[in-house]
């Protein structure tokens, strides 16, 4: 199986720690699957030594631009990934060439970011966030509080 992991936010406090720990654990425990760490090659050095089954795929865009989205999608398609893990929440829907698993750390902060915008923009932010979450093959919530907030949004866990 070919699994991609989006590491572009690995330097952020909570998301970064989580991502580094996931990658290190997979490096210790799983030597059957092939992993592609998509992001800045310099950021991979923060993780430490990894087995040969891990490859770094450069992508310098932070994920907030259309260009970055197109490049990310093209990388997944070129590598023929079976799955991608996105260890952070975003709100713009993405049509990816493979299923995705998403980790949600703090839904309150994510929703709070839209508060300074117009009612229409807040509504779209809320709607698109739900759509992104519902499109995930699996959602990993880091706490029961986050899980209950997701339940309130109408996002079910399988």
Q: Is residue 157 part of a domain?
A: no
Predicted pLDDT at 126: 76
Q: Give the Cα separation of 135 and 8 in Å (integer).
A: 21
pTM of the model: 0.87
Mean pLDDT of each 10-residue bin along the chain, 158 residues long: 94 90 95 95 87 94 82 96 91 80 78 67 76 90 86 73
Total tally of structural domains belonging to the chain: 1
Its domain, for residue 78, covers 2-152
Q: Is residue 158 part of a domain?
A: no
CATH number at residue 28: 3.40.50.2000
| Residue whose tokens read 């709100």 | 91
CA distances from 143 to 66, 103, 104, 115, 132 (A): 31, 11, 9, 23, 19
Helices and strands in the chain: count of H runs, count of E runs: 6, 6
Q: Give the Cα separation of 3 and 146 in Å (integer).
A: 25
Predicted pLDDT at 112: 62
Residue 32 CB-density burial (10 A; 0-12 exposed, 13-18 middle, 19+ buried): exposed
């Amino acid at each position: 199986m070919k699994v991609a992991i989006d590491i572009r936010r690995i330097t952020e406090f909570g998301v970064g720690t989580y991502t580094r720990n996931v990658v290190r654990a997979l490096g210790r425990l799983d030597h059957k699957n092939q992993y592609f760490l998509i992001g800045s090659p310099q950021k991979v050095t923060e993780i430490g030594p990894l087995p040969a089954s891990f490859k770094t795929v450069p992508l310098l865009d932070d994920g907030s631009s259309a260009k970055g989205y197109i490049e990310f999608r093209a990388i997944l398609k070129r590598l023929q990934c079976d799955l991608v893990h996105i260890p952070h929440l975003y709100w713009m829907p993405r049509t990816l060439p493979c299923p995705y698993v998403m980790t949600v750390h703090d839904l309150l902060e994510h929703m709070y970011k839209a508060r300074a915008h117009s009612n229409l923009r807040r509504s779209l932010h809320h709607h698109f966030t739900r759509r992104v979450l519902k499109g995930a093959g699996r959602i990993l919530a880091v706490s029961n509080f986050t899980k209950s907030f997701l339940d309130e949004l109408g996002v079910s866990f399988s």
